[in-house]
Structure 1
Amino acid sequence: MGYLIHGGNTYEFEDRVLAHLKTVIGQKLRKQECFFLSWTKSPETGSGRVSVWLSPQIAIAFRFSGSRPPQLNPDWLKALTALAHTPRGLVVMSEDEAESYARRQLVKI
């Protein structure tokens, strides 16, 4: 498990999820864009939803538990990036959900 550290708070994510989030968040912040990052908590971690406002003015760090970076899935990145550009903001989704989302979007084109 890795950690996203933002504004004095620490949020836990699996390393593979965190690697994809890091890429998309980095792209948005590099463009000086502000946005929400949202996810659903599992019942083991108390259930509910979390939304965090990300902006270039607030320090953010990513700490991974593994020593090797995971391979990135282009479809997962496309889905996360597409969501990050909506009013809802970047929504954390599983790799399977992202691949399904990417397929649905390609059908619409």
Structure 2
Amino acid sequence: MGTLYYGGSATPIHIEDRSLAHLKVVIATKLRRGESFTVTWTHDDERQGKSTIWVHPSIPLGFVFDDPEPPPLSREWIENLATSANSSGGIALAAEHLDDQTPDPAPQAVEVTAN
């Protein structure tokens, strides 16, 4: 289970390592371009509901992964997250749909484009 530290909040956001790795790629690309957006996720613990954060280049973020080895990345999942980041609803973090369990050998080549 990875952790996202957002802004000055002492409350960590726990996200599974593989999901966090995909989210990190999209967030880093958007912030490098100076773009702001929202990220929403459903609570998976005893809390009900969901949370949303506003991601902006001026707000500090930290990504901490439990596993020292980076997980394999899926080009399709990155593209889906990037598409949602470019929408008015922002990123809606959801579980990856795995039709094919084979990881993409070159996910770093994904171009994230703005709409």
Between structures 1 and 2, the one with greater helix share:
1
CA drift of 1:47 comes to 1.6
* Mean CA deviation greater in 18-27 or 6-15: 6-15
- Secondary structure of the corresponding residue to residue 95 of structure 1: coil
CA offsets, 1:55-100, max 9 Å, x none? Answer: 0001101000001000100110010000000000011011118x9x
Aligned to 1:47: 48
Residue pairs, 1:1-109, within 5 angstroms? 1-9=1-9, 10-42=12-44, 44-96=45-97
* Structure 2: stretches of 5+ with no match in the other structure: 101-115
CA offsets, 1:20-78, max 9 Å, x none? Answer: 00000001000000110101112x24121100000000110100000100010011001
* Regions of 4+ moved over 6 Å: none
User: What CA distance in whole angstroms lies between the structure 1 residues aligned with 2:48 and 2:69?
Assistant: 30
- Secondary structure of the corresponding residue to residue 89 of structure 2: coil
Q: Count residues in correspondence.
A: 97
- Secondary structure of the corresponding residue to residue 36 of structure 1: strand
CA drift of 1:8 comes to 2.5
Aligned to 1:106: none
TM-score normalised over the length of structure 2: 0.80
TM-score normalised over the length of structure 1: 0.84
Aligned to 2:109: none
Identity %: 37
User: What CA distance in whole angstroms lies between the structure 1 residues aligned with 2:93 and 2:71?
Assistant: 17
* Structure 1: stretches of 5+ with no match in the other structure: 100-109
- Secondary structure of the corresponding residue to residue 97 of structure 2: helix
